[in-house]
Amino acid sequence: MSDKELLVSEEGLKKLESELEYLKTVRRHEVSERIKTAREFGDISENSEYEDAKNEQAFVEGRIQTIEKMLRQAKVVTSENVDPNAVHIGSVVRVKDLDEGFEEDYTLVGAAEADPNKNHISNESPVGKALLGAKIGEVVEVSAPVGKIRMQVMKIS
C-alpha cells in the first residue's frame, strides 16, 4: 500500500478500528493458545498443527500492520466538508444506465470499505472515479471491459 491519503467514511473508520481492536485483543490470544497447544504435541519440525498456527499468526500480524497503516493514512470524509449537491464519499447515488435503461443505487466509499456485493463501490474504481463530483442530471462515462458505459446521476443522498 502506498503512502497516499486513504479516504474513509466515519462508519468505515469505526469498522477498521473495531477490527484492529478484535485482532489485537482476541485473535492474537487465540492464535497464541493454538501455538502453545500445538507445541505440546511434540516435535515441531513435523507438526502440521504448529505450522498452521504459525501461518495464522503471521496472517493476523500482517493484517494488524495493514490496518494500522490504513488508520495512519485515513482521512475521514464527513458531510460538513463536502458539497451536498455532488457525489462524494458516503453518498448513496442512484444512476440510470443510459444504454440498458435500468437504475441502480451505489454507495460511494473509500477503497478500504468497498464491497461490490452490497453495491458499496470504491472511489478508486472506474465507476467510483467517474461518479465522484458528479451532480444530479449529469451523465458520466465509464470505460469497462464491455466498452463504454454511460450513466446519468438521478439522485444523491
- Answer yes or no: CATH 1.10.10.60 is held by domain 6-76: no
Region 143-148 average pLDDT: 86
The dihedral formed by the CA atoms of 98, 103, 107 and 113, expressed in degrees to the nearest 10: -80
Higher per-residue pLDDT: 65 or 12:
65
Highest mean pLDDT, choosing among 9-13, 47-51, 98-102 = 98-102
Encode pLDDT of 67-113 as tens digits.
999 999 998 877 676 777 899 888 899 999 998 899 999 999 988 88
Using CA atoms, how far residue 132 sits from 29, 87, 127, 135, in Å, is: 42, 5, 9, 9
pLDDT level of residue 130 (50, 70, 90 thresholds): very high
Q: Do domains 6-76 and 79-156 have the same CATH topology?
A: no
Give percent above pLDDT 70 in the chain. Answer: 97
Largest CA distance in the chain: 68
Contact criterion met (CB below 8 Å) for 54 and 36: no
Give the pLDDT confidence score for residue 81 in this predicted structure: 66
> Which CATH number does 79-156 carry?
3.10.50.30
Bridge partners (DSSP) listed for residue 140: 151
Which residue stretches of 40-124 are H helix?
48-73
pTM value is 0.70
* Domain positions in the chain: 6-76, 79-156
Give the pLDDT confidence score for residue 78 in this predicted structure: 74
Give the pLDDT confidence score for residue 71 in this predicted structure: 93
**Measured distance CA(3)–CA(69) in Å, rounded:** 9
Give the pLDDT confidence score for residue 111 in this predicted structure: 84
C-alpha cell at 144: 469497462
Contact criterion met (CB below 8 Å) for 60 and 20: no
**Measured distance CA(144)–CA(84) in Å, rounded:** 28
